[in-house]
């Protein structure tokens, strides 16, 4: 981006990157959406939210439409605080801030913690919007590969030891999605959870635990990093986007109050009382555990359907991780550049997100793609995977020969 | 703020300031609110918004509860574009961004334009939250006094000429609320509007025109700076907070697309589809001009009531500007530190905002206070001003002698 305006010197670096949202495709009409990381239409409680707004405005009239004054705004915060306590994280009022979704939470943390000298450690692959955010602040990264048990902490330990020995700067922050990761669907093992916390203490870095999918486990979920954190090194980011509705923009951070204070300081969209009070009103009449059970049952079934369809329709050379929760299946198609496959897939009527967008070094992700079982219904999932299999089958180089 | 965390180097400067929100008082129960810059409860269309949400969710079901997909989100943007066109500002789709209120708009512009070397020119006094935002970015300011015709552009011209002659850095940005200013209620004269635009061209700075109150004129309003701007030097910031409801968090920026692009880039709370689609649904069944007429009639009457009460109950030494629109009356009580008067006023049952919070150099504002006629009803306004008169009367030093 070149202009004759006087831009901030801090953002000239950011402008070196591609504009955000490159990973978003324009979908043709009727396209089967295996790209969308959204809740399924049938799982979004639009009718209950309509009733929640009506009750809210009948009871409070103008209050939730002002800057301040709705009793349901602190009530939402209290709900989140109690939910965190149930999950093993005791947070005082000054240790929790409600944000406009998880992305704003990540951005605020980045703004407070990072500058152009900071090194950030990230999983490889990781959430593409988090990469977009961090790249507004710094050019310095450590990329730690993921396997079926999540972030490979042994590799991280080696990298840190190597950097320390060479006198290279150590990371100030590790960004991780330990549970039902985006995009891989993997979950960090309990042993590795302890290991990464020990490394944070040993090498003096903070951990941003992005838990957007953590309540969407098909079985028992492992303890949160924040619940295991005895040294206040973890900044926990939660979201109601995947378990209620993304359009309500409700996220939150739990961290040391010395971190929360400056987040408040730099959060200049102010509080969103209408969204927050509406969400509190919805939660008042919702058995949240029952609601989660309803969601996880539905997503588990959709996931199983997708995995069966992958077995049935994809050539044998194609592989994937089996998720235990969340929204995503991470697929590898050897020898195929999935970003070149995408136009064919869209023309055939199915969408996915090419793997390269989830990597700092996009070349590392060419053979991968992210499928989401969250949005499409089961019939659409089967049909979509069948179409993907057809498009992939004719593109895999000498796939049969390799068997 | 001192911590052992690794904070960004950019924000160490910000932490030198007081935390935001110092100007907010805790109001005792029953306090008459002449401090609140909110719309009156009776003027907030809560019943219509309830119906707007019901219609929205009946028609669109899950769409406005996802990240993307509600047709009413672009519809809101189109409404704002057309409204700007009616007010003399033709903006293409790429020249307008919807934000989470005016504060986020100001913060995003600051983030893109400012750094710690930038000089910002501001009116003195000016909107306290804008000062809080700018002080997160830079310590360098020009404060230009206001009179009954707004920003004194002749003084600005002198300051700029002086700086240029001395080789001192010139401002990169002028922040102004030209119409029904917060806190003074003053409006920049047409001659000064032309003068400030000529100065921007001559001295190469950008203008941030904050127009939060511009649609709330009791008579005809002067042309927007943006409507007079032939050189793309004005970044216009609008808001629906004062004319519909602040809790919906709808603001916008109109500017050169080279400015709008990076605002989109750094706006990480994403779009707020539920708020925006609800607002679009509300506007669909609202005659906006009629709605504004209803509001301005109400505020004009409340303003007249406040001015009469000031004449009746305040000692003769006290003076104020007569506003032609907006929310505020700016009052000077000679010889009194209004921040010391505030506890007495609150104890008596009336609130105001001490003038010092609207000044970079708080000492310059000790004798002033901001009254708002927006929130309280007419009976409360009369009673509140009477209480203020009693509290002020006993505190003015030898007020009678000066007459």
* pLDDT over 60 at A64, yes or no: yes
Minimal C-alpha gap between B403 and chain A (Å): 42
Residue bearing the bigger pLDDT, B313 or A9? B313
Tokens of residue A80, six digits: 């989140």
Mean pLDDT of B104-122: 96
List the 304-333 stretch of B: residues with Cβ below 8 A of A: none
pLDDT band at B398 (very low <50, low <70, confident <90, very high): low
Q: Are A189 and A226 in contact (CB under 8 A)?
A: no
Mean pLDDT of B388-396: 92
* pLDDT over 60 at A209, yes or no: yes
Looking at every residue in chain A, the average pLDDT score rounds to 95
Query: B332 in the Ramachandran plot: left (φ > 0), alpha (ψ -120 to 50) or beta?
Result: beta
Of how many residues is chain B composed? Answer: 403
CATH T-level fold of B25-44+289-396: 3.90.1150
Tokens 């009803």 correspond to B377
User: Is the CB of B342 inside 8 Å of chain A's CB atoms?
Assistant: no
Instruction: Count CA atoms closer than 13 A to B299's CA, side-chain side.
Output: 34
Q: Are B241 and B279 in contact (CB under 8 A)?
A: no
Nearest residue of chain A to residue B21 (CA atoms): A265
Mean pLDDT of B224-252: 97
8 Å CB contact of A53 and B53 = yes
Percent with pLDDT over 90 in chain A:
93
Asked whether the CA dihedral A102, A107, A108, A114 is positive or negative, the reply is: positive
Distance between CA atoms of residues B165 and B188, nearest Å = 27
Minimal C-alpha gap between B46 and chain A (Å): 6
8 Å CB contact of B8 and A113 = yes
Distance between CA atoms of residues A294 and A244, nearest Å = 12
User: Is the CB of A278 inside 8 Å of chain B's CB atoms?
Assistant: yes
Percent helix / strand / coil, chain A, rounded to 5: 45, 15, 40
User: A237, A101, A121, A125: which is closest to A186 by C-alpha?
Assistant: A125
DSSP class of B140:
E
Minimal C-alpha gap between B7 and chain A (Å): 5
β-pairing, A328-332 with A368-372? Answer: antiparallel
Which residue spans within A262-398 are E strands per DSSP?
A: 319-320, 328-332, 350-351, 353-354, 368-372
Minimal C-alpha gap between B305 and chain A (Å): 23
- Who's near B28: CB < 8 A, 6+ residues apart? B346, B347, B349
8 Å CB contact of B269 and A101 = yes
Mean pLDDT of A241-246: 97
Min mean pLDDT across B17-31, B74-88, B139-153 is at B17-31
What's the CATH class of domain A9-45+289-402?
Answer: alpha beta
8 Å CB contact of B248 and A8 = no
User: Is the CB of A38 inside 8 Å of chain B's CB atoms?
Assistant: yes
A253-282 pLDDT, tens digit per residue, is: 999 999 999 999 999 999 999 999 999 999
User: Is the CB of A294 inside 8 Å of chain B's CB atoms?
Assistant: no
Of how many residues is chain A composed? Answer: 403
Choose among B11, B54, B270: nearest Cβ to A101.
B270
Tokens of residue B226, six digits: 């943006």
* Pick among B71, B269, B272 to test the A interface (most A CBs inside 10 A): B269
CA torsion, points A226, A232, A235, A239, in degrees to nearest 10? 40
Predicted pLDDT of residue A235: 98
* pLDDT over 50 at A402, yes or no: no
User: Is the CB of B345 inside 8 Å of chain A's CB atoms?
Assistant: no
Please tell me whether residue B37 adopts helix, strand or coil conformation: coil
Burial class (CB in 10 A: 0-12, 13-18, 19+), B312: exposed
H or E element in which residue A43 lies: none
- Is the CATH number 1.20.140.10 carried by domain B46-284? no
Tokens 């589809």 correspond to B273
Burial class (CB in 10 A: 0-12, 13-18, 19+), B42: exposed
Minimal C-alpha gap between B67 and chain A (Å): 5
* pLDDT over 70 at B2, yes or no: no
* pLDDT over 50 at A203, yes or no: yes
Q: What is the DSSP string of A199-247?
A: HHHHHT-EEEEE-TTTT-BSSPPPPPHHHH-SSS-EEEEEESTTTT-GG
List the 46-85 stretch of B: residues with Cβ below 8 A of A: 46-47, 49-50, 53-54, 57-58, 61-62, 64-67, 70
Minimal C-alpha gap between B399 and chain A (Å): 38
Mean pLDDT of B261-289: 96
User: Is the CB of A217 inside 8 Å of chain B's CB atoms?
Assistant: no
Distance between CA atoms of residues A306 and A96, nearest Å = 37
Percent helix / strand / coil, chain B, rounded to 5: 45, 15, 40
Q: Are A104 and B266 in contact (CB under 8 A)?
A: no
8 Å CB contact of A65 and B46 = yes
List the 101-140 stretch of B: residues with Cβ below 8 A of A: 101, 103-104, 106-107, 111-115, 117-118, 133, 136-137
Mean pLDDT of A130-150: 97
A308-329 pLDDT, tens digit per residue, is: 999 999 999 999 999 999 999 9
Contacts of A269 in chain B (CB under 8 A): 99-101, 103-104, 107, 249, 269
- Give domain limits for chain A: 9-45+289-402, 46-284
- State the count of interchain CB pairs (< 8 A) between A and B: 213
Predicted pLDDT of residue A11: 81
Q: Are A101 and A241 in contact (CB under 8 A)?
A: yes
* pLDDT over 60 at A2, yes or no: no
User: Is the CB of A16 inside 8 Å of chain B's CB atoms?
Assistant: no
Predicted pLDDT of residue A28: 95
Nearest residue of chain B to residue A55 (CA atoms): B50
Predicted pLDDT of residue A4: 65
Predicted pLDDT of residue A398: 65
User: Is the CB of B19 inside 8 Å of chain A's CB atoms?
Assistant: yes
- Who's near B399: CB < 8 A, 6+ residues apart? B315, B316, B317, B334, B335, B393
Contacts of B275 in chain A (CB under 8 A): 272, 274-275
A343-367 pLDDT, tens digit per residue, is: 999 999 999 999 999 999 999 999 9
Please tell me whether residue A265 adopts helix, strand or coil conformation: helix
* pLDDT over 50 at B118, yes or no: yes
Contacts of B53 in chain A (CB under 8 A): 50, 53-54
- φ, ψ (nearest 5 deg) of residue A384: -65, -45
Choose among A114, A245, A270: nearest Cβ to B249.
A270
- φ, ψ (nearest 5 deg) of residue B275: -60, -45
List the 185-214 stretch of B: residues with Cβ below 8 A of A: 206
Distance between CA atoms of residues B323 and B331, nearest Å = 11
Contacts of A243 in chain B (CB under 8 A): none
A74-86 pLDDT, tens digit per residue, is: 999 999 999 999 9
List the 355-384 stretch of A: residues with Cβ below 8 A of B: none
8 Å CB contact of A41 and B61 = yes
8 Å CB contact of B115 and A10 = yes
Mean pLDDT of A64-92: 97
pLDDT band at A403 (very low <50, low <70, confident <90, very high): very low
Please tell me whether residue B144 adopts helix, strand or coil conformation: strand
8 Å CB contact of B66 and A101 = no
Say if B25-44+289-396 and B46-284 have the same CATH topology. Answer: no
Tokens 């591609």 correspond to A18
User: Is the CB of A179 inside 8 Å of chain B's CB atoms?
Assistant: no
Q: Are B147 and B317 in contact (CB under 8 A)?
A: no
B154-208 pLDDT, tens digit per residue, is: 999 999 999 999 999 999 999 999 999 999 999 999 999 999 999 999 999 999 9
User: Is the CB of B14 inside 8 Å of chain A's CB atoms?
Assistant: yes
Looking at every residue in chain B, the average pLDDT score rounds to 95
* pLDDT over 70 at B318, yes or no: yes
Please tell me whether residue B113 adopts helix, strand or coil conformation: helix
Mean pLDDT of B91-103: 97
Tokens 């999605």 correspond to A177
């Amino acid at each position: 981006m070149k202009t004759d305006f006087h831009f901030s010197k801090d953002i000239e670096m950011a402008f070196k990157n591609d504009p955000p949202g490159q990973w978003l495709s324009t979908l043709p009409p009727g396209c089967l959406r295996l790209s969308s990381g959204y809740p399924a239409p049938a799982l979004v409680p639009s009718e209950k939210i309509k009733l929640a707004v009506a009750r809210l405005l009948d009871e409070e009239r103008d209050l939730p439409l002002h800057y301040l004054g709705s009793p349901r705004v602190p009530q939402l915060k209290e709900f989140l605080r109690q939910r965190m306590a149930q999950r093993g994280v005791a947070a005082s009022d000054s240790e929790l801030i409600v944000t406009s979704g998880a992305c704003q939470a990540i951005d605020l943390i980045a703004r407070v913690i990072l500058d152009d000298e900071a090194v950030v450690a990230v999983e490889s692959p990781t959430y593409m919007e988090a990469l977009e955010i961090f790249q507004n602040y710094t050019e310095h990264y450590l990329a730690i590969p993921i396997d079926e048990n999540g972030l490979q902490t042994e590799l991280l330990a080696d990298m840190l030891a190597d950097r320390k020995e060479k006198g290279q700067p150590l990371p100030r922050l590790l960004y991780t999605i330990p549970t039902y990761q985006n995009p891989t669907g993997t979950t960090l093992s309990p042993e590795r959870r302890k290991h990464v916390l020990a490394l944070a203490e040993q090498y003096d870095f903070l951990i941003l635990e992005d838990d957007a999918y953590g309540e969407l486990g098909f079985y028992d979920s492992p303890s949160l990093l924040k619940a295991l954190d005895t040294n206040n090194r973890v900044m926990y980011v939660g979201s109601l986007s995947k378990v209620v509705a993304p359009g309500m923009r409700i996220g939150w951070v739990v961290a040391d109050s010395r971190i929360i204070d400056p987040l408040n300081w730099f959060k200049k969209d102010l509080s969103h009382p209408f969204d927050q009070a509406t969400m509190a009103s919805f939660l008042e009449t919702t058995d949240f555990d029952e609601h989660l059970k309803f969601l996880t049952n539905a997503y588990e079934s959709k996931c199983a359907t997708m995995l069966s369809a992958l077995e049935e329709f994809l050539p044998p050379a194609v592989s994937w991780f089996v998720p235990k929760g969340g929204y995503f299946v991470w697929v590898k198609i050897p020898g195929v550049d999935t970003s070149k496959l995408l136009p064919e897939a869209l023309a055939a009527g199915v969408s996915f997100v090419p793997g390269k967008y989830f990597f700092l070094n996009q070349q590392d992700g060419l053979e991968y793609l992210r499928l989401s079982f969250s949005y499409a219904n089961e019939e659409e999932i089967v049909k979509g995977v069948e179409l993907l299999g057809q498009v992939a089958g004719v593109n895999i180089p000498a796939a049969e020969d390799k068997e």
